[in-house]
Amino acid sequence: MKSAFVSHLEEILEKDPAVIYLLDRDLRIVYCNEAWDRFAAENGGRGLSRQLQLGRSVMDAVPLPLKPFFEDGYRRALCGRQSWEHCYECSSPTVYRNFRMMSRLDPEGEALVVVNSITVERPHDDRERTVCFPKESVWADNHDFVTMCCHCRRTCRSKQPPIWDWVPAYIEKPPGLVSHGICAPCRALYYPEFA
Ligand SMILES: [Zn+2]
């Protein structure tokens, strides 16, 4: 039985463009957002619809050599008050992709929220471009302000609906004009009283 808070969290996360899922304390999938189905459909995984994932262990999808690593990371996030972050590659035959995963226990300690932000996306044969985001104008508004989440440091695209990207270049050197915001997952996880 889900708590009211987790049900509320699912509503918040449903339309988020990042692939987000929730795990229970046994690492079973209890929720996947809409982006899960979109990603599966775009990558030939129609048989992997989110409905079919519910109740399954997330560890079933982890390759055998990586199981200890993921199990340890998820368990640490479930036990402690710290998030667990990990970068990984998930490419298709035609597209090279990297993601950054953030796993964080919800404030009521019921579900582990796993947010997957894309960091690189490019065709395999495009040797020149290393980052998927072509122009800085993707993030800067009309006044050249760039909005970054004050918690996870992802950057929000200037057009609606809000899409939050992990931009390594901005972590190394913040853009000139930064306005601080807070992305929906961070708001729900870290500042639930404002969610
Ligand atoms: Zn955030």
Quote the CA–CA distance of 112 and 24 in Å, as a whole number: 6
Token pair, residue 175, equals 């853009």
Task: Output the CA torsion 182→183→188→190 (10° steps).
Answer: -50
- pLDDT at 18 (0 to 100): 94
Question: Considering the entire predicted model, what is its pTM?
Answer: 0.74
Q: Is 9 exposed, middle or buried (0-12, 13-18, 19+ CB in 10 A)?
A: buried
- pLDDT at 130 (0 to 100): 47
- pLDDT at 101 (0 to 100): 94
Neighbours of ion ligand 1 (CB under 5 A): 149, 151-152, 183, 186
Domain chopping of the chain, boundaries: 4-194
124 residue type, one letter: H
- pLDDT at 64 (0 to 100): 85
- pLDDT at 192 (0 to 100): 72
Quote the CA–CA distance of 35 and 118 in Å, as a whole number: 12
Q: Is 179 left (phi over 0), alpha (psi -120 to 50) or beta?
A: beta
- Kindly tell me if the per-residue pLDDT of 80 is higher than 90: no
Band the pLDDT of 30: cuts 50, 70, 90.
Answer: very high
Of 115, 55, 105, 57, the C-alpha closest to 78 is 105
User: What are the beta bridge partners of residue 89?
Assistant: 98
Q: What is the pLDDT of residues 132-190, one digit of tens each?
A: 454 567 899 888 899 998 888 889 999 888 889 888 788 888 888 999 888 888 888 87
Q: What is the pLDDT of residues 2-26, one digit of tens each?
A: 888 889 999 999 999 999 999 999 9
Bigger pLDDT: 72 or 93? 72
Bigger pLDDT: 28 or 195? 28
Average pLDDT over the chain, rounded to an integer: 85
CA of 190 to the centre of ligand 1 (A): 9
CA of 151 to the centre of ligand 1 (A): 5
- pLDDT at 186 (0 to 100): 84
- pLDDT at 176 (0 to 100): 85
Tell me, which fold does domain 4-194 have in CATH? Beta-Lactamase (3.30.450)
CA of 64 to the centre of ligand 1 (A): 31
Within 10 angstroms of residue 20's Cβ, the number of other Cβ atoms is: 25
